[in-house]
Amino acid sequence: MKSVIELEIAGPRPHVAELYATPENSPRWMDDLGRYEAMSGTPGMPGSRYRLVPKKGSLAFVATVKARELPRRVQVELDSPKVTVSVTGTFEELSPGRTHLVSEEVFTFKGLFSKAFGLLAQPAIRRAHRRHMEGSNALPNRLRTNERT
């Protein structure tokens, strides 16, 4: 399953990309995330790993930074026992003070039950993706949002 959110952000591309790619900022823009825990490597750099622990529930993810090509792109893989999510953020400069962000999440569910759940939960997953992106306190104010799924 894939979910794509596009946002037009009031902020220069290098600044927006840096805020998005810094894992310590995750709890500031993901409303259901309790905390970030560094595990290995330099946080936010390729090969580094960290845990994303939810405020409620037990579905924590171990994140591995796969690519960091700022200010153009960042890619992170989130892994849990039930699902792996490949997250790619791509940044395009619209003007010196405006950035177009495309956040793509590709979900791979593990096991028969998780696959069935993922199929049924697609609308909720897409809503959560949009909420995470729109709820960002770490990124500059958005001017307009669009969604492609």
Are 27 and 41 in contact by the 8 Å Cβ rule? The answer is no
Are 11 and 99 in contact by the 8 Å Cβ rule? The answer is yes
Residues 6-23 have a mean pLDDT of 90
Instruction: Find all residues with CB under 8 Å of 106, minimum gap 6, and list them.
Output: 1, 2, 85, 86
- Going by pLDDT thresholds of 50, 70 and 90, the confidence category of residue 42 is very high
- Could you tell me the fold of the domain covering 2-148? Alpha-D-Glucose-1,6-Bisphosphate; Chain A, domain 4 (3.30.530)
- Going by pLDDT thresholds of 50, 70 and 90, the confidence category of residue 77 is very high
More confident residue, 17 or 142: 17
